[in-house]
Amino acid sequence: MDPLKARVRLGYSRSWVVRKYSLIGLWPSEVHLTRKFFAPGSRLLDIGCGAGRTSIPLAQAGHEIVAVDLATPMVAQTHALAEFAGCRVRGVAADAAILPFPANTFDGVLFSYNGIELVPREAGKRAVLSEVYRTLRPGGHFIFTTHALEAFNRYAWDRLQRVLDQLGRMLTFRSIADEEFGEIIPDPSRNVEVYYMQINSPRKYRRMLRSTGFGLRYFNSRSRIDALKPPGWLADFDGDFKFYVAQKP
């Protein structure tokens, strides 16, 4: 396994991280979008399911759920919490970039809470998009969220400094061979949750979706959805997470 991915798996296998994610419930924006784009009784794939925060309420709403996570302890917690909640979720420990399911299996796919940003490198994210595309049935929807490189929030200055540093190194011909734009790679010796993350611009995700073959059916920020504001160009820049709803033609 790619060493960066192995570090992601380590972070999300820690018992305190599993406990942190054991808080079940969809966000209001997720309730809105899953009702709108996942028909009742759909067969859904919940990628990066964590401890079952989204899998369990979607199973309770009547969907058939297959929940996948890179971290085995997360899958075990999803099973335990689903049993406690009295619903059925089929959990599978797997990597989103190599999904163990045949083509055209799912009516809908979810990769919630910015999980795609934990997949190392642009090539890794493209592999995930291709796998989601392959396993979705034609007409099926893929809902996911990200941060945004250009978001105005309290992390904007840190992000700008990192990008300027990377640009400076490029312009002075110093190596950036081991780094892509937007990457955050904390010290491996720290006891943290996030050992790798890459924050891109929504423009880049829209490009990657298009080149995979998806059509983008909906894009908005979480706070705009919560405030019942329509999609618009401002959604790229506000400080909140971005929701994408892509459809396989």
For ligand SAM, which is the closer residue by CB, 49 or 151?
49
User: Is residue 96 a contact residue for ligand SAM (CB under 6 A)?
Assistant: yes
Give min distance, CB of 23 to ligand SAM, in A.
8
Cβ 10 vs Cβ 196: under 8 Å? no
Give min distance, CB of 178 to ligand SAM, in A.
20
Q: Could you say which residues in the range 197-216 bind ligand SAM, by CB under 6 A?
A: none
For ligand SAM, which is the closer residue by CB, 54 or 198?
54
For ligand SAM, which is the closer residue by CB, 131 or 238?
131
- Measure the CA–CA gap between 108 and 86, rounded to whole angstroms: 23
Give min distance, CB of 95 to ligand SAM, in A.
5
Outline where 61-213 has alpha helix (H): 72-85, 121-135, 156-171, 202-212
- Measure the CA–CA gap between 92 and 113, rounded to whole angstroms: 19
**Residue 52 burial by Cβ neighbours in a 10 Å radius (0-12, 13-18, 19+):** buried
Q: Could you say which residues in the range 100-129 bind ligand SAM, by CB under 6 A?
A: 112-113, 115, 118-119
Q: Which helix (H) or strand (E) holds 223?
A: helix 222-226
For ligand SAM, which is the closer residue by CB, 37 or 111?
111
Q: What 8-state DSSP symbol labels residue 117? A: G
For ligand SAM, which is the closer residue by CB, 168 or 188?
188
First to last CA, the chain: 32
Q: Could you say which residues in the range 32-91 bind ligand SAM, by CB under 6 A?
A: 47-50, 53-54, 68-71, 74
Q: Comparing C-alpha atoms, which of 97, 108, 154, 58 is closest to residue 247?
A: 108
Q: Which amino acid is at 138?
A: P
Q: Two tokens at 230?
A: 């329509």
For ligand SAM, which is the closer residue by CB, 68 or 225?
68
Give min distance, CB of 65 to ligand SAM, in A.
12
Count of residues engaged in binding ligand SAM, rule: CB under 6 A: 22
- Measure the CA–CA gap between 205 and 72, rounded to whole angstroms: 28
Give min distance, CB of 96 to ligand SAM, in A.
3
Which chain residues interact with ligand SAM by CB under 6 A?
8, 12, 21, 47-50, 53-54, 68-71, 74, 95-97, 112-113, 115, 118-119
